[in-house]
A and B are shown apart, each in its own frame.
Chain A
């Protein structure tokens, strides 16, 4: 029961300290906000289309342009197909991409020499490349309709289905929130006893030291639950995150990451014994796990040489990478059972981290240096 009382005391303190609450919840939510701006803009590119040919081929191309899409969204949002309006919007800079279907397009297509033009305000090379590739793909889809395909693409996905950007980001943010909340909340719960000079109250109690340790971990986990649930609710609303697989299995993995975070937080908290230092160390630690393990697949695509290759190799060996990967597979509806192998490194790491945390906490709760 003492474990519970310690946790209740910490929760009471937590809700009375706006700084703690803000640190615990706002950082993951800031990520959600950031990606909520980035993801939609990378999903659909607004373009204006100047249709200067009245042939059926021009209409078909425009229709194709409107219909090409990825798993999660159309590639283009055609703002207007009025030639005059399209050129005006592009010239004024209100439109970044202008597709021109020139006069005589229908005849040219019939002769096998059809051409469309893409005009781009180059705001950055990635955006320009995106538009070029998407228009190029649209042309290919259009050609496939009128003749034999000139290229056959065969995709082999790592997962059971195509992972949408929203799901990919949602799982990453959810697990980041879990590890971050566990780390920061437990770290703060531990360090605040020394920062606020209240540790002696616990040290002097006639309770086994293991009870004090368990109380602190429970306090951190409870506070983290609030943060993780808040973030989960937001990713469901903002990114439309709807896991096809077991929600319970995903929640279980979020709990695993929270426990890992709590262990790391306890270690940091007892080592530095200052709340501000816990936050300063906790944020980059959780971000490191997020960027390395949460984006292992993205790193893989870039890891030809240099520092990115090193980062990718590092991410492969991080035990947390498997948890991110399995969570994504679960989100796509795969069975949890055959994925346990990927989780093994994390399941080995967690008891080790908790063991170190318990040892350090016990030692800190055991004795004091002189004069304190």
Chain B
């Protein structure tokens, strides 16, 4: 496979106190973003996590100059996105959520059109296309129409298209939505490599596993605000708690006894599986074991772990269903 080309100029992206309101003329305008501050740094993958409607795609559209903020500013490499959107777009490689590939054109035709739009020098076009197709493992399929591609192949092609222009900023809106494990692994590897070579990467996803695998920094969005920001480990530590997993046939009184144990913050789940949020994992684990023994209940599972990203996400954004 070809290496991802190096980025010549490091470009930082900054969103300063950005608010976006839709339907401002209406009685109750929708505030999609509410005073958002975010820095995207070269060489880092910043992952935006958030439930549906939290403002992830709105943030992406802002950075791409497809939206103007109601207030606040968006800077891409020192260019204000609202003032020179074409200048900003020239710095970006984007894979939109819907891929935006022309299904009745071949992969090569899609890429050559992209190269023409982005002013890739004519003499370099063929070589670059060959490179990015090899990069995503589609060299042998360049003359096939994209409509005949699987979902995973289309996602990989969309990534190839974004990399074709050697952009200093790569924006990936749910880049592995609906793809198989193999394609996902290939896409992740390319994203990591791209960031290692100095590219500023912004990625939105709903997959915690993807966020944990790729994020140098995570920003959790909810209701148009960043509710937590940091590395995966930092966010996990923010909860200041451990999780005890318990699988046991406890009656109601037993569950009640669990919830009032010293160090237990809260009990989640339904019999026979429970999740206990605890302040001090080690000592509370012993207390739970003693409680089981006293009540004559055998625990099939009793384990202690740090909260994972899924726990963090649900803790931060709640369990309420979103549309």
Query: Which of these, A200, A202, A206, A370, contacts B90 with CB under 8 Å?
Result: A206
CB nearest to B86 among chain A residues: A206
Q: A200-B98, A371-B58 are in contact. Are A5 and B117 (CB under 8 A)?
A: yes
Q: Is A369 an interface residue (CB 8 A)?
A: yes
A370 touches B98 (CB 8 A): no
From B57, B68, B105, B117, A13 is in contact (CB under 8 Å) with B105
Shortest distance between the CB of A97 and any CB in chain B (Å): 55
- Distance in angstroms between the alpha carbons of A366 and B103 in the assembled complex: 24
Within A178-218, which residues are at the interface with B (CB < 8 Å)? Answer: 196-208
Partner of B57, one of A16, A205, A371: A371
Q: Indicate whether A370 sits within 8 Å of B68 (C-beta atoms), given known contacts A12-B105, A13-B105, A200-B98.
A: no
Interface residues of B in 75-107 (CB under 8 A from A): 86-90, 92, 94, 96, 98-105
Whole-angstrom distance from the CB of A275 to the nearest CB of chain B?
A: 13
For the complex, is A111 an interface residue (Cβ under 8 Å from B)?
Answer: no
Q: Which residues of A contact B53 (CB under 8 A)?
A: 371
> Given A204-B89, A204-B92, 5 other A-B contacts at CB below 8 A?
A1-B116, A5-B116, A198-B101, A367-B66, A368-B66
Interface size on B, as a range, is 35 or more
Contacts of B57 in A (CB 8 A): 370-372
Given known contacts A1-B116, A5-B116, A367 and B67 CB-to-CB distance under 8 angstroms: yes
- Asked if B109 and A12 make an inter-chain contact with CB atoms under 8 angstroms apart, the answer reads yes
A243: shortest Cβ distance to chain B, in Å? 38
Given contacts A198-B102, A206-B118, contact A5 B87 (CB under 8 A): no
- Which residues, 110 to 156 on B, are CB-close (under 8 Å) to A? 113-114, 116-119, 145
User: Interface code A10-32, partner B: CB below 8 Å = 1, 0 otherwise?
Assistant: 00110011000000000000000
Once A and B bind, how many residue pairs between them come within 8 Å at the CB atom? 86
**CB of B64 closer than 8 Å to a CB of A:** yes
Q: Judging by beta carbons under 8 Å apart, are B105 and A368 in contact?
A: no
CA distance A5 to B22 in the complex (A): 34
How many angstroms from the CA of A2 to the CA of B102 in the assembled complex?
17
Cβ B89 vs Cβ A9 within 8 A:
no
Q: Smallest distance from the beta carbon of A198 to chain B beta carbons, Å? A: 5
Q: How large is the interface on A (under 10, 10 to 19, 20 to 34, 35 or more residues)?
A: 20 to 34
Residues of B within 8 A of A372 (CB): 57, 61
A368 to B103, alpha carbons, bound, how many Å? 22
Rounded to whole Å, the gap between the CB of A283 and the closest CB of chain B is 23
B226 within 8 A of A: no
Kindly state the separation between the CA atoms of A201 and B58 in the bound complex, as whole angstroms: 17
User: Residue B191 at the A interface, CB < 8 A?
Assistant: no
Q: Do the beta carbons of B86 and A368 come within 8 Å of each other?
A: no
A-B residue pairs in contact (CB < 8 Å), sample of 30: A6-B117, A9-B105, A9-B113, A12-B105, A13-B104, A16-B104, A17-B104, A196-B102, A197-B99, A197-B100, A198-B101, A200-B66, A200-B94, A200-B96, A201-B101, A201-B114, A204-B92, A204-B94, A205-B117, A205-B118, A206-B87, A206-B90, A207-B86, A207-B117, A208-B86, A367-B66, A368-B67, A369-B22, A370-B57, A372-B61
B262 at the interface (CB under 8 A from A): no
CA–CA, A199 to B101, complex, Å? 9
Q: How far is the CA of A17 from the CA of B145 in the complex (A)?
A: 13
A2 touches B116 (CB 8 A): yes
